[in-house]
Chain A
Amino acid sequence: MVDLRINCAGIKSPNPFWLASAPPTNSGYQICKAFEAGWGGAVWKTIGAPVMNVVNRYAAVDFNGQKIIGLNNIELISDRSIEINLKEIAETKRLWPDRAIVASLMVESDRKIWHDIVKRTIDAGADGIELNYGCPHGMSERGMGSAVGQVPEYCTMITEWVTEVSTIPVLVKLTPNVTDIRFPGRAAKKGKANGISLINTINTIIGVDLDTFQIEPSRGGKGGHGGYAGPAIKPIALNMVSEIARDPEINLPISAMGGISNWKDALEFILLGATSVQVCTAVMHYGFRIVEDMIDGTTNWMEEKGYTSLDQIRGKALTNIANFGDMNLLSKHVAHIDEQKCIHCNLCYIACEDTAHQCIDLHQKKGKKQPTVREPDCVGCRLCYIVCPVDHCITMVQKDNGAQSKTWNELVKELPQPLSIEDLRKFQHKHGIDVH
């Protein structure tokens, strides 16, 4: 029997799927509707300093006819009053006691103001607090959001103000708009945070109108950077989550987000160390109903694999992350094209010929142009595999027996330093590796 229950830094929920702090969690009405659909938790849209929004808050990147591969926004934190939000938190918690309600907070950098809102949030009955150090637009210009997340010292300071009065778990939500995500993560740890949420949105300008030269979308002639989310940012989020998860100085539970659209995405984040996963863009595209497949798909996958609890898989992919210097240089793979499956689009040919290593030939066969790999020249780069539109047509075939291994880190210890290209060539030649 699969059990999807989780406990993220002391915040419990019946499944790992939480709505991220964003427009979908703007009100008790919406969150109740989401809980009815099956969401395990919700991070309330950030409560705090008074704000006023503009129109045309959202913009999206469509790709080849596919809508919203990335979503940009400049909506600010909740524009409703603290009182109304806290009242609705209390009401929602009473109606849905088994679900996680986490209050996202953002106020001015003043200890008293922070103490006040934290206490009121606890009184409202929230299960946890998420500190919004991430919003990259609007609030940051006022010294809040990512303005905090980008300076580790501020991160620690405000986290301390919160944790010194909080009786409920505190998650710190990080901005990805930094050069090394581990530093604000360590700062949060130093401030006694109970867990880390990441990633918030990424600074982006979505586009320029070719007729008016205005920034898309234009608000009275002006536009600017917003926070980017959605499927396009998932790989960035996966990497940052793994960096936080692998950092021995942090070692905190993670609530992960960034482009999670379905159960597969969610599992990837869990395999890289996440305990709960948060979703926004996919819900903004399709509504709360998508959680049904997230629960169903995860359950089916776990049943098929024989897992009963998410604890059994959490972080299981982390050990497979390696630095380049620890990868086997002698592993030999070459591309192989299955001529039975090939549909003769020749995209592999032109990709290899123009942009890779010129090792695919086209020759006439049964009235069609058949691409074939010239194996001795194939460096195994995998570009052809990526461009091929047919499943399992191009495969990367292992040509070594796996017995030989030499990593870069091992190699540089053996070869005279400073390393010369001649010595490297000798090594390559010895192992039948031709560089062309």
Chain B
Amino acid sequence: MKKTILTVDDSRTMREMLKATLLGAGYEVMQAEDGVHGLEVLEGAMPDVILTDINMPRMDGFGFIEGVRRDSRYRSVPILVLTTEGEPEKKDRARRAGATGWIVKPFDPEKLINAIRRLAA
């Protein structure tokens, strides 16, 4: 069965890049445009890995991660943070919110797929 990845990013460019990369690697892709949308899309779905941006309108990545982790159904879903921001305090905040990992944008497709592959294994 194909693994499903949920990506949450407000940038259409990023969404398209992620989609192209993930589809190319044989994953099913679900996409959302911000944290609120992400939680909506998550309803009734069970992605194998979640990729999320931090800086988004309505609900940012921290809020989204906390929201996902609050829901017992999604406690074991790995969440990778994908963001341009690399400051340690932001990393730490995402980690405390419940993020599994961190990938700095612009992402190296190969590295991203490697990370997803091992998390979705």
Chains A and B form a bound pair: no
Q: Residues of A at under 8 Å CB distance from B?
A: none
Q: Residues of B at under 8 Å CB distance from A?
A: none
